[in-house]
Amino acid sequence: MGEGWGVFCVGLYAFRGGSAVERTIFHVDLDAFFVAVERLLDPSLVGKPVVVGGMGPRGVVSAASYEVRKFGVHSALPMSTARRLAPRAIFMSPTHGVYGKVSRRFKSILEDFSPDVHSASIDEAYLDMTGCERLLGPPFESASAIKRRVRDELSVVASVGVGPNDVVAKVASEESKPDGLLIVRGSDAAEFLAPLAVRKLPGIGPKATERLQALGIGTLGELARAPLGVLVRSFGQRHAEYLRRRAAGEGSSTRSVREAAKSISSERTFDYDVLDRDRLDAVALSLSEKVGRRLRRAERKARVVVLKLRYGDFTTVSRRCTLSPAVDGDLAIHGAASGLLWEVLRERLDPVRLIGVAVSGLVERETQLSMLGDSSGLEDSAVSVAIDAIRERYGDGAIVRGRLASFGGGV
């Protein structure tokens, strides 16, 4: 092979009359991305246990090198816990401005392989590769080519999962790490997932895992076979059916990967509880920009804006509002979030631990005037798109809205 990475195949892709009978979805994930970029900046870190994340009292791990994962350190772990588990590791804050540049080059590489790329986060993306075989060869060849280009052009490593839908592809890439390639055919999906722990399924977090374990369900195979009534009592009808289908390997195999996202969100946990309403509103604007940028990248607009606040005592409050017409501009999102923020703070003005902004009710992005002829939404969208372009070319700090500049450009 000569590539230095492992390759695994589960089944083979089926073809009839030269046409694929199922979708081909790639999930490409950059391994320990933040650590990999830090090692590019400082090669002396190569081979050493490195943890990147927030250094404040409430900081969390953004990325952990494989050298430190054997001690139980992983992303989203509280940094204080990581320090206890691996006290001799190298702990460092993220180097802002660099990750975005590498990520943009990563996404550019992927767009050379498929016209349908959905960015899931700064270091991972889904590609709909259905019908690309004639140009790029079978999935193994095109996935290998992606890995080579990422390694050669970015000097980082990618793992690739290939499956008939987004769920199977995502799990396949996780199971192939580090530096792997795993291909799963649709007819083999249920068998592939069955022995895996329920927490391996995207969307099942710690709380859902605990509830499933209380029901005696520990693997995805057990979840797929579980009586629906048992699941309904714990998760509700709709979610129970959803979980069981996903555990059986069923996913969004009949739609574009761009349609996979049902909502887009961004959150900020403060190092210390915040009571300053102006600062909370400024953070809401910063989060609205992040959500808006991802919304426009997905070529969507949103009908619903959601604000979440978590107080110092861990009480969590959320409010939502429905907009008409749908929006994708930063100021429109922030305007709705800001109104919800003041509404919540009027009810309870206490120090805030976390604030989040989310959008849902996503629809196709269309450019049209409302029936009343109000063009403010179009102007907001156009300005936001222009800001996106500047930041894409010159970095996130190249342009800052005046409201955020009063906080030194950061909140």
Task: Retrieve residue 277's tokens.
Answer: 């309403």
Q: Where are the alpha helices (DSSP H) in 86-180?
A: 98-111, 133-136, 139-154, 166-176
Would you please indicate which residues are annotated as catalytic (active-site) residues?
A: 124
Q: Where are the alpha helices (DSSP H) in 248-329?
A: 277-297
Residues 160-169: what's their mean pLDDT?
95
At 411, is the pLDDT very low, low, confident or very high (cuts 50, 70, 90)? Answer: low
Q: Are 305 and 264 in contact (CB under 8 A)?
A: no
* Structure confidence at residue 164 (pLDDT): 94
Distance CA 105, CA 120 (A): 15
Three-state secondary structure call for residue 220:
helix
Ordered structural domains, the chain, with CATH:
33-92 (3.40.1170.60), 194-247 (1.10.150.20), 261-405 (3.30.1490.100)
Please give the DSSP secondary-structure letter assigned to residue 175. Answer: H
Residues 305-320: what's their mean pLDDT?
94
* Structure confidence at residue 39 (pLDDT): 96
Q: Are 234 and 240 in contact (CB under 8 A)?
A: yes
Distance CA 181, CA 28 (A): 9
Residue 152 above 90 pLDDT?
yes
* Structure confidence at residue 387 (pLDDT): 80
Q: Are 384 and 292 in contact (CB under 8 A)?
A: yes
Residues 351-360: what's their mean pLDDT?
95
- Please report the beta strands in 178-286, taking only residues with DSSP state E, as ranges in sequence order: 180-184, 263-274
Residue 84 above 70 pLDDT?
yes
At 405, is the pLDDT very low, low, confident or very high (cuts 50, 70, 90)? Answer: low
Query: How many Cβ atoms are within 10 Å of 212's Cβ, its own excluded?
Result: 26
pLDDT tens readout for residues 1-60 = 334 444 444 443 433 344 444 689 999 999 999 999 999 999 999 999 999 998 888 888
* Structure confidence at residue 369 (pLDDT): 40
Residues 355-372: what's their mean pLDDT?
72
* Structure confidence at residue 377 (pLDDT): 61
pLDDT tens readout for residues 237-268 = 888 998 999 999 987 543 444 445 678 899 99
Distance CA 201, CA 208 (A): 11
pLDDT tens readout for residues 97-151 = 788 889 989 999 999 999 888 888 889 999 999 888 888 999 999 999 999 999 9
pLDDT tens readout for residues 202-230 = 888 888 999 999 999 999 999 999 999 99
Query: How many Cβ atoms are within 10 Å of 112's Cβ, its own excluded?
Result: 12
